[in-house]
Amino acid sequence: MCGIVGYTGPKQAYPIVLKGLQRLEYRGYDSSGVALLKDGKLSVYKKKGKVAELEQEMLQKDSSAHIGIGHTRWATHGEPSDRNAHPHRSANGRFAMIHNGIIENYAQLKNELVSKGYSFSSDTDTEVLLNFIEHIQTNNNCDVEEALRIALKRVTGAYCILLIDEQDPDTIIAARKGSPLVIGVGKGEHFLASDASPIIEYTKEVVYVNDYELAIVKPDQLILKNLGNEKITPYITTLDMELAAIEKGGYDHFMLKEIFEQPSTIYDCLRGRLDANAGTITMGGIEKNFEQLINANRIMIVACGTSWHAGLVAEYIIEEICRIPVEVEYASEFRYRNPIVNKGDVIIAISQSGETADTLVALEKAKENGAFIFGVVNVVGSSIARISHAGAYTHAGHEIGVASTKAFTGQLAVLMMMALKMAIKKGTITQERYQQLLNELQDVPEKVNAILKNAEELKTIAHKYKDAGDFLFLGRGYNFPIALEGALKLKEISYIHAEGYPAAEMKHGPIALVDEKLPVVFIATKDSYHEKIVSNMQEIKARKGKIISIITQGDHISPTLSDDVFSIPPADELIAPIISVIPLQLLSYYTGIAKGIDVDKPRNLAKSVTVE
Ligand code: M6R
């Protein structure tokens, strides 16, 4: 949550920072602001609302400085407002700072500062940290770097901060713990950001800053240190990413672009790994530690949100074909309860961003307890990718829309390949079934493509039901997690209350909600549960609920029970979730659009949830 950008070099900083904020807006859009330093004078401009508001505000301002920092906020401490927007200025006006994360002991630090005469102009934890740094600096008469080091040793919580000092005309000081920071290394210039998207346009050479590291960044110098003031050699990596990947490419919204990219992102995920002709799956990151995985007594899957839903699908598949017990945990619960992690247990962490705070901390805890961690992550070089012992990237490319779409299908493809690889090695699947599933998996991109060609049908359905107050999503077996995912997508993007349920569980409570106004979406593809789900449709129809069903082409029974139908190509039931989710993504997209919602930036959400 929150996006941060910084620039120091010969160019004008503001246009770079502004464009960077626009690219990072998916991380939060409650307010934004910039601090610019020119001729020894620090100017801070900030505005409640989206980055466009700030851009407007800046039209008449002098923005010609060559050093600047900018922030787009997802509010934690203090409501979205101009005064709580970042950057914050220290009480003496000398420093400006932006922050992504949460300072958990801010109340204690604030009390200390208040007792020393400090007062505050915002409700944020950031202003407290900044004044704490200022207090140490003035009290100890030390340089700001030293003050920062002392302050950060007292801080609990998560942070990535960028700080500029009125008395130091070209330096940005940065530090991170738990919130991401990438530094782009240009020719006589440096770029700092929460992810690489603001940087890619200028340089592909980047340094990922690690926890407890401090960066002193000047146009032609980058010094990395630990909190003990020891220098660390920056490790420069080259980004494997193109500018086009982070632009809309002719689509109205990133979400739509990302939905339509799925035939190619799933293909990219399978490419070089799955060879159906040869009957092989090659996954370098998994193979090195394969024994660990196949001999696991138990697999625990740790994730949040949509990634958690991918974990549920994986649970069903791994238990079915690998016969290894699987538990799927919400990372936010796992990190605080006292889970039993035994020797021989393996953790699979699933995360699009690789920065989700709950997942990251859960993994740190599991790692301390000796667990072996496989990461299934989309963002290369992200914190979760780095904390994992081994893993596989989903190769879905940069996902910008807040609603996760292509990353989810990438996760399912990776998890399916992992399960198949384990199953054939363990001998818990026949060669014939294995080959059949390889063939099916290989056909997924084509089937997704076929669904996308009929997207307009879902637009019509979305318009019909856009004013509903509630939705129910029902599925059974492998499609039960897809019902949960359909409901989550609709909530996020259309603000319609929606619940996902196993179809048979519906009669234990949710059926009380059914009346002629309630749309019920059935994921009723042809599988071993089909007759059962048809009975559940009958139960809804008997109570006059409106039935929208996602069915397999050629199914003649379900349409007779449904008010609206969308057909998808036939697929093996283990593979079906990767394709049955596509119409649900489109349904929520078109519903959100029909309701006039900014689907790429729905209210209260952020793409990367780096606070707990
Ligand atoms: O980056 P992650 O996969 O770890 O994120 C987990 C959730 O925050 C994320 O899936 C969230 O639920 C999405 N907005 C769903 O569309």
State pLDDT tens for residues 345-393. 899 999 999 999 899 999 988 888 888 999 999 998 888 999 999 999 9
Q: How many CB atoms are closer than 10 A to CB 139?
A: 11
Same domain, 19 and 165: yes
Same domain, 235 and 259: no
Same domain, 212 and 301: no
Average per-residue pLDDT in the chain? 94
Same domain, 460 and 408: no
Same domain, 337 and 313: yes
Check residue 66 and give its pLDDT: 97
Check residue 335 and give its pLDDT: 83
Q: Which of 421, 526, 601, 607 is catalytic?
A: 607
CATH label of the domain that carries residue 501: 3.40.50.10490
Who has greater pLDDT, 480 or 249? 480
pLDDT tens, position by position, 206-261: 999 999 999 999 999 999 999 999 999 999 999 887 777 778 878 999 999 999 99
Domain boundary at 442, 471, 495, which?
442
The answer, yes or no, to whether residue 459 has pLDDT greater than 80, is yes
Same domain, 135 and 281: no
Nearest CA to ligand 1 atom 8: 305
CATH label of the domain that carries residue 133: 3.60.20.10
Check residue 367 and give its pLDDT: 87
pLDDT tens, position by position, 401-437: 999 999 999 999 999 999 999 999 999 999 999 999 9
567 lines ligand 1 (CB under 6 A): no
Domain boundary at 413, 442, 471, which?
442
Per cent of the chain over pLDDT 70 is 100
Same domain, 400 and 463: no
Q: Which amino acid is at 460?
A: T
Burial class (CB in 10 A: 0-12, 13-18, 19+), 482: buried
305 lines ligand 1 (CB under 6 A): yes
pLDDT band at 339 (very low <50, low <70, confident <90, very high): confident
pLDDT band at 343 (very low <50, low <70, confident <90, very high): confident
Check residue 381 and give its pLDDT: 83
Q: Considering the domain boundaries, does residue 136 fall inside one?
A: yes
Q: What is the mean pLDDT of residues 331-348?
A: 87
137 lines ligand 1 (CB under 6 A): no
User: Ligand 1 pocket: which of 26, 353, 363 to mutate (most atoms <8 Å of CB)?
Assistant: 353
Distances (CA, A) of 82 to 6, 88, 268, 558: 20, 11, 43, 54
The answer, yes or no, to whether residue 180 has pLDDT greater than 90, is no
Atom of ligand 1 nearest to the CA of 379: 1
pLDDT tens, position by position, 111-141: 999 999 999 999 999 999 999 999 999 999 9
**Alpha carbons within 13 A on the beta-carbon side of 318:** 29
**Which residues are within 8 A (CB) of 35 and not within 5 positions of it... i.e. 6 or more apart?**
42, 43, 44, 45, 68, 69, 70, 87, 89, 96, 98, 164
pLDDT tens, position by position, 92-118: 999 999 999 889 999 999 999 999 999
Q: How many CB atoms are closer than 10 A to CB 514?
A: 19
Q: Considering the domain boundaries, does residue 447 fall inside one?
A: no
Q: What is the mean pLDDT of residues 158-181?
A: 94
Same domain, 343 and 235: no
Domain boundary at 245, 261, 295, which?
245
Parent domain of 473: 453-612
Check residue 76 and give its pLDDT: 84
609 CA to middle of ligand 1, Å? 8
Total of domains in the chain: 3
Same domain, 140 and 78: yes
Q: What is the mean pLDDT of residues 8-36?
A: 94
Same domain, 235 and 255: no
Same domain, 87 and 236: yes
Nearest CA to ligand 1 atom 12: 305
Nearest CA to ligand 1 atom 9: 305
262 lines ligand 1 (CB under 6 A): no
359 lines ligand 1 (CB under 6 A): yes
Atom of ligand 1 nearest to the CA of 303: 4
Same domain, 40 and 159: yes
**Which residues are within 8 A (CB) of 228 and not within 5 positions of it... i.e. 6 or more apart?**
none
352 lines ligand 1 (CB under 6 A): yes
Check residue 429 and give its pLDDT: 97
Q: Considering the domain boundaries, does residue 47 fall inside one?
A: yes
The verdict on whether 2 is a catalytic residue reads: yes
